[in-house]
Amino acid sequence: LPAVISRNQDGPGEMGKAVLIPKDDQEKMKELFKINQFNLMASDLIALNRSLPDVRLDGCKTKVYPDELPNTSVVIVFHNEAWSTLLRTVYSVINRSPHRLLAEIILVDDASEREFLKASLENYVKNLEVSIKIIRMEQRSGLIRARLRGAAASKGQVITFLDAHCECTLGWLEPLLARIKEDRKTVVCPIIDVISDDTFEYMAGSDMTYGGFNWKLNFRWYPVPQREMDRRKGDRTLPVRTPTMAGGLFSIDRNYFEEIGTYDAGMDIWGGENLEMSFRIWQCGGSLEIVTCSHVGHVFRKATPYTFPGGTGHVINKNNRRLAEVWMDEFKDFFYIISPGVVKVDYGDVSVRKALRENLKCKPFSWYLENIYPDSQIPRRYYSLGEIRNVETNQCLDNMGRKENEKVGIFNCHGMGGNQVRSNTS
């Protein structure tokens, strides 16, 4: 098993530098790439404890945090993860976190089939200097249910969720825990830096973006609006209030995680759970922030190496239908017109989640749009939804799946909404 531990300052990938594979090895590299949808050959050349640049803002480097901070359980779910990326995640947590703040690391194996992730992994982590538990799911359950299992086994005052292909940087943990100490109902995310799936180069993420979503409830990054800069009086080292989170990396007070309703266990595998939790936190009295002094790198892949039972589209449609039915009130109708395929999906029973909303006395979605996400593309008031049709040719204006501010096109009218919906707001 590749396990480059002893490193020198000129080793591959040190200080987050890109690893370039020689031409003679390119074909083998391409074959290995297919296994995890990232450059496994490059990853295996890099030390598990490689050095990284300090990408924090200068003002973050001099901040002083309280000595008394809550400790955290770090929960990492993996399914057939590469040895080098999984262990590099673990080493980065151990090496760049004050050990008094690490209650434990919990690795949740979502029914991996690879032999090296069984006894070899258990024997390896026994010798590490922080308590590490491995929990095995009996069958493939998906990220949501695996995280719930890990959270239920945790004992830290805070739960920190990470993906299995991350690298934590110097000073990543203290700012997250300090913010939760200030307000236990604040859920906090680090700035997510980019680790190239091709070269494993470490690239700093921006502190000038925050999380939102588009008409189809796809998570998107958008520029931090001026109103949020004004609220922070221009101090970029202060946390950014974000309407939504990407969902892979965040910390939450363990008791608050229970109080707010953990995850929706009726959702399948992965997808939509980040928006569901974002809406719920804001509508039910909490807040969601990106702590700009905390940086964690993440390998962003262009494709997923895993299959979704029933297909990716079906799973995400089901999950989005559940969150729309529980949290979006009358605005769900707008979403259904934009995404008509969602309406055909069996989304199960949401009565427990609706009762949770009732018991927590949560605010309406209109409040969320007015106060938390006034920049949302979803129109808060519209008097008609329809299409622009040429009655002679039966062709309609169609966004052709293009992005905002790109030209629209013309396509045969299909009457199903989606890309041909026009909203009249005035």
Q: Is the pLDDT of residue 100 over 60?
A: yes
pLDDT recorded at residue 420: 65
Q: What pLDDT was estimated at residue 191?
A: 98
pLDDT band with cut points at 50, 70 and 90 for residue 2: very low
**Cα–Cα distance measured from residue 323 to residue 253, given in angstroms and rounded to the nearest whole number:** 23
Does residue 408 belong to any structural domain of this protein? yes
Predicted local confidence at residue 305, as pLDDT: 75
Locate 399 and state its tokens. Answer: 């966004």
CA distances for 382 relative to 67, 334, 365, 402, angstroms: 52, 10, 16, 23
Indicate whether 396 belongs to any domain.
yes
Does a structural domain hold residue 415? yes
Percent of the chain with pLDDT over 90: 74
Q: Report yes or no on 389 lying in a domain.
A: yes
The whole-number pLDDT of residue 424 equals 60
How does pLDDT run across 4-22, given as a tens digit for each residue? 555 667 899 999 999 999 9
Average pLDDT (342-354) is: 93
pLDDT confidence bin for 409, thresholds 50/70/90: confident
Residue 301: pLDDT over 60? yes
Q: What is the pLDDT of residues 152-204, one digit of tens each?
A: 999 999 999 999 999 999 999 999 999 999 999 999 999 999 999 999 999 99
Looking at the predicted structure, is the pLDDT value of residue 390 above 50? yes
Domain of 396? 384-424
> Which residue would you say has higher pLDDT here, 304 or 192?
192
Report the pLDDT value the prediction gives residue 4, as an integer from 0 to 100: 54
Q: How far is CA 144 from CA 60, 98, 108, 277, 282, in A?
A: 33, 28, 11, 11, 20
Q: How many CB atoms lie within 10 A of CB 369?
A: 19
Q: Establish if 403 belongs to a structural domain.
A: yes
Establish if 73 belongs to a structural domain: no
Q: Which tokens hold the place of 304?
A: 């997923």
Q: So what's the pLDDT on residue 341?
A: 86
pLDDT in tens, 251-299: 999 999 999 999 999 998 878 999 999 999 999 999 999 999 999 999 9
Contact by Cβ (8 Å): 289, 241:
yes
Q: Is the pLDDT confidence value at 1 over 50?
A: no
Whether 340 is covered by a domain: the verdict is no
Task: Give the pLDDT band (50/70/90) at residue 355.
Answer: very high
pLDDT digits (tens, 9 = 90+) for 29-53: 999 999 889 999 999 999 999 999 9
Tokens representing 313 are 């589209």
Task: Give the residue with greater pLDDT, 1 vs 311.
Answer: 311
Per-residue pLDDT, 5: 58
Q: Is residue 61 part of a domain?
A: no
How many domains, the chain? 1
Convert the chain into a string of H (helix), E (strand) and C (coil).
Answer: CCCCCCCCCCCCCHHHCCCCCCHHHHHHHHHHHHHHCCCHHHHHHCCCCCCCCCCCCHHHHCCCCCCCCCCEEEEEEECCCCHHHHHHHHHHHHHCCCHHHEEEEEEEECCCCCHHHCHHHHHHHCCCCCCEEEEECCCCCHHHHHHHHHHHCCCCCEEEEECCCEEECCCCHHHHHHHHHHCCCEEEEEEEEEEECCCCCEECCCCCEEEEECCCCCEEEEECCHHHHHHCCCCCCCCEECCECCCCCEEEEHHHHHHCCCCCCCCCECCCHHHHHHHHHHHCCCEEEEEEEEEEEEEECCCCCCCCCCCHHHHHHHHHHHHHHHHCCCHHHHHHHHCHHHHHCCCCCCHHHHHHHHHCCCCCHHHHHHHHCCCCCCCCCCCEEECCEECCCCEEEECCCCCCCCCCEEEECCCCCHHHCEEECC
Q: Assess contact for 295 and 330: CB atoms under 8 A.
A: no
The answer to whether residue 422 scores a pLDDT higher than 70 is no
Q: How far apart are CA 159 and CA 187, in angstroms?
A: 10
